[in-house]
Structure 1
Amino acid sequence: MSTPPKPGKGMSVKVDQQLYDDLEVMLRAGITVSDAVRHAVSLVAGAYRNAWELGHYPEGVEPRVIACQLAPYDRRNTPSG
């Protein structure tokens, strides 16, 4: 197991076609690449944390994430135009 970069440090990830395609989808929401990576890692890390804390998977075993839950769309928060 390696350790993550310290806060404030940069991170380097080689972009393959799958990552490119996934980032392209996320950027359509108007976010930056950095924000997309932060958000995606946060969601998956939360799923891992929950799986381990609830005892669904042993600590350190990669959970198989198969679904996500979305909040209802709220048109009031949509920019006009």
Structure 2
Amino acid sequence: MSAEPATAAPLSISERRSVVRQLSDQRLSARAIAAKLGVGKDTVRRDLEALRQDPPPPAPTGAPVACADQVTVAYDDKLRADLAVLAEAGLSPEGAIRFAVGIVSYSYRAAWERGICPRGVAPLIRTTTARPGSQKEATA
């Protein structure tokens, strides 16, 4: 039984155009962009033409989250319920959030480094693996 390589879910048109914009800003050719994204150069040329017609989104205002000293998150029923589950395993709300963000950021970095999707594009995370253990083991 042979294992098939993992493939990334196809990008939506808006996601692809966002990546095309980023790579074009880095002065990559349509052919190079097409090779990176696994699409035809004509698709990239159509995306570039559409982007010329559609101005880039405005730059975000304020400090980026990565640079902020504090992050505010709405404490809604879903988050409350999710944190309650993690509290059953002995995690504080802060510890649970740090742990969860660490898992997701690790998955993003791994997808980018393995070329599953272009850097800056959020990969689709389909599954996680769990086994008996403790958070201390996972973060060690």
**One fold, TM greater than 0.5?**
yes
Query: Which protein is richer in helix relative to its size?
Result: 2
TM-score normalized with structure 1 length:
0.75
5+ residue gaps, structure 2, are 1-59, 134-140
Task: Give the whole-Å Cα distance in 2 for the aligned partners of 1:6 and 1:59.
Answer: 19
| Higher RCO, 1 vs 2 (CA within 8 Å, ≥6 residues apart) | 2
1:26 to 65, 80, 86: 86
Whether 2:64 is the aligned partner of 1:3: answer yes
Alpha carbons 1:5, 1:11 under 8 Å: kept:
no
5+ residue gaps, structure 1, are 75-81
Counterpart residue number, 1:69:
129
* Greater radius of gyration (CA): 2
Cα-Cα RMSD: 2.0
Cα deviation, residue 55, structure 1: 0.5
- Render the CA deviation track for 1:18-76: whole Å, top value 9, x for unaligned: 21111111111111100000000000000011011100011111111111122x425xx
TM-score normalized with structure 2 length:
0.46
Q: Please list every run of at least 4 consecutive aligned residues from structure 1 whose deviation after the TM superposition is greater than 6 angstroms.
A: none
* AA aligned opposite 1:65: I
